[in-house]
């Protein structure tokens, strides 16, 4: 095996452990301490790792640990474009520290009137680089299907992109390494690194906003699929009798029945044909409802809102049941404002219990990370790729 590959393998273990002794490394690789020391010596000379003496020793020399040298790595600029058209901007370090958080709400214009998303991102990147010359990598997250190996957005219903080759565009323009990932897959990485799935081998993240998507982690690896399309749970046809058209063109998809937009549309049209709801006045006043209004209706146990939301939970349960049957996960993490309602969570669990196999044991809960999930997502993608993705690592670690 080549020396360089060995170096990356050693670095990956040091990164995963945070702090690790040479003895432990020797144990992990089944090599002698002398063989390990040969590699760590090179890495120390390259300044990629540092030695730290930790704690008191029981006589003799204090134990020496190796860790990644954070000083060697420049800052990461993270851009996260969510399905609710919010742009989260983060500047962070390779050890996961975040030094800047900023949030911008993008226009709610219809897709055909929207500005090219590449230009929007470019404006932010250019400003941030001017302000912080220490930026050494860019990590971009976008909704929809992403081919992260080609650095392309395949399809993003929430954003208009004239040029889908995002990575190529930014690498050329700024001469920095760039990573691109799908929003829900990035969320799964965050749950794995700093959230509630740290020691969990198999789990699913289910995200519900204006769109619906999922990501699964199998054996501690995020599953991408043959076309990089794994996780498009929003387009599982859940109601074959439905006349509601989905953003993908089909009818009866989970997204068309249960996304935030879908339930708002259903409640709005029912009120407009004369059904009673406490949201009637809100609709009259503002001309449109938000998911917060819907959650208010749930809280007040408004009959119409409860009816629509119970049906939505039934559909979500059907979608989740398919994921559970196929993947048998230990845990399901739910992301989205509607899951903050205990009433809706209880309804969802009730519906799931009705249809899922009794032998399938799993836990299901809303994410505990709040907005940090969105801010940390781009950083999580870099942490995952460093020492794994060779071309990215080479560009990011160059002097
Ligand atoms: Zn669809």
Name the CATH topology of 75-189+372-397: Nucleotidyltransferase; domain 5 (3.30.420)
CA of 158 to the centre of ligand 1 (A): 13
Gap from CA of 393 to ligand 1 centroid (Å): 36
- Ligand 1 centroid to Cα of residue 232, in Å, is 9
198-366: CATH number? 3.30.420.40
The pLDDT of residue 2 is 40
Mean pLDDT across 385-390: 87
Residue 398 has pLDDT above 80, yes or no: no
Taking the centre of ligand 1 as the mean of its atom positions, its distance from the CA of residue 211, in whole angstroms, is 9
Q: Ligand 1 centre from 253 Cα, in Å? A: 5
Distance 134 CA to ligand 1 centre (A): 42
CATH 1.10.10.10 location in the chain: 3-72
**Distance from the CA of 227 to the center of ligand 1, in angstroms?**
17
Give residue 251 CA to ligand 1 midpoint distance, Å: 7
Spell out the CATH class of 3-72.
Answer: mainly alpha
Task: Round to whole Å and give the CA distance between 61 and 95.
Answer: 27
Are 357 and 325 spatial neighbours (Cβ–Cβ below 8 Å)? yes
Of the chain, the percentage scoring pLDDT greater than 70 comes to 95
Using the mean position of ligand 1's atoms as its centre, give its distance from the Cα of residue 306 in Å: 24
Parts of the chain belonging to CATH 3.30.420.40 = 75-189+372-397, 198-366
Name the DSSP class of 251.
B
Distance 245 CA to ligand 1 centre (A): 8
Cβ neighbours of 192 (radius 10 Å):
22
Phi, psi of 155 (to 5 degrees): -160, 120
Pair 284, 291: CB distance under 8 Å: no
Across the chain, what does the average pLDDT equal? 91
**Exposure b/e, 275-310, CB count within 10 A at least 16 = b:** eebebeebbeeeeebebebbbbbbeeebebbbebbb
CA pair distance 166, 153, nearest whole angstrom: 7
Averaging pLDDT over each range in 1-15, 42-56, 201-215, which range is the top one? 201-215
What is the pLDDT, as a whole number, of residue 12? 87
- Mean pLDDT, residues 253-264: 96
Q: How far is the CA of 51 from the centre of ligand 1 (A)?
A: 52
Given this model, what pLDDT does residue 167 score? Answer: 96
Angle of helix 390-397 relative to helix 372-385, nearest 10 degrees? 100
Residue 1: pLDDT band by 50, 70, 90 thresholds?
A: very low
pLDDT tens for 308-329 read 999 999 999 999 999 999 999 9
Q: How far is the CA of 257 from the centre of ligand 1 (A)?
A: 10
State in Å: Cα 94 to ligand 1 middle.
Answer: 37
Beta carbons within 10 angstroms of residue 187's beta carbon: 29
* Cα 274 to ligand 1 centroid, rounded to whole Å: 29
């Amino acid at each position: 095996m080549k020396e360089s590959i060995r170096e990356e393998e050693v670095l990956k273990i040091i990164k995963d452990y945070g702090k690790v002794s040479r003895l432990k490394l020797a144990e992990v690789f089944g090599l002698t301490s002398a063989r390990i020391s040969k590699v760590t010596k090179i890495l120390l000379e390259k300044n990629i790792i540092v030695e730290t003496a930790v704690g008191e020793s029981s006589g003799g020399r204090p134990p020496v640990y190796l860790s990644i040298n954070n000083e060697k790595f420049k800052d990461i600029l993270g851009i996260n474009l969510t399905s609710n058209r919010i742009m989260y901007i983060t500047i962070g370090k390779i050890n996961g520290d975040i030094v800047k958080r900023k949030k911008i709400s993008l226009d709610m214009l219809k897709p055909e009137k929207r500005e090219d998303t590449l230009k929007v991102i470019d404006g932010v990147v250019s400003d941030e680089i001017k302000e912080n010359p220490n930026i050494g990598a860019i990590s971009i997250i976008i909704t929809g299907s992403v081919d992260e190996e080609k650095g392309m957005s395949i399809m993003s219903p929430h954003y208009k992109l004239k040029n889908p080759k995002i990575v190529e565009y930014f690498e050329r323009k700024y001469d920095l390494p760039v990573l691109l990932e799908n929003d829900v897959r990035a969320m799964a990485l965050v749950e794995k690194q700093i959230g509630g799935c740290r020691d969990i081998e198999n789990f699913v993240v289910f995200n519900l906003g204006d769109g619906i998507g999922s990501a699964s982690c199998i054996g501690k690896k995020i599953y991408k699929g043959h076309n990089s399309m794994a996780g498009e749970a929003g387009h599982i046809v859940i109601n074959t009798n439905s006349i509601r058209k989905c953003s993908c063109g089909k009818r009866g998809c989970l997204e068309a029945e249960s996304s935030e937009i879908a339930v708002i549309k259903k409640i709005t049209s029912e009120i407009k044909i004369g059904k009673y709801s406490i949201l009637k006045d809100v609709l009259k006043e503002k001309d449109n409802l938000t998911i917060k209004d819907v959650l208010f209706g749930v809280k007040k146990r408004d009959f119409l809102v409860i009816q629509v939301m119970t049906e939505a939970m039934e559909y979500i349960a059907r979608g989740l049941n398919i994921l559970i049957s196929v993947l048998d996960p230990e845990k399901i993490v739910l992301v989205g404002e509607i899951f903050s309602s205990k009433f809706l969570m209880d309804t969802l669990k009730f519906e799931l219990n009705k249809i899922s196999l009794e032998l399938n044991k799993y836990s299901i809960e809303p994410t505990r990370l709040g907005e940090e999930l969105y801010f940390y997502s781009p950083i999580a993608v870099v942490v995952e790729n460093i020492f794994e993705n060779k071309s990215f690592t080479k560009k990011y670690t160059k002097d």
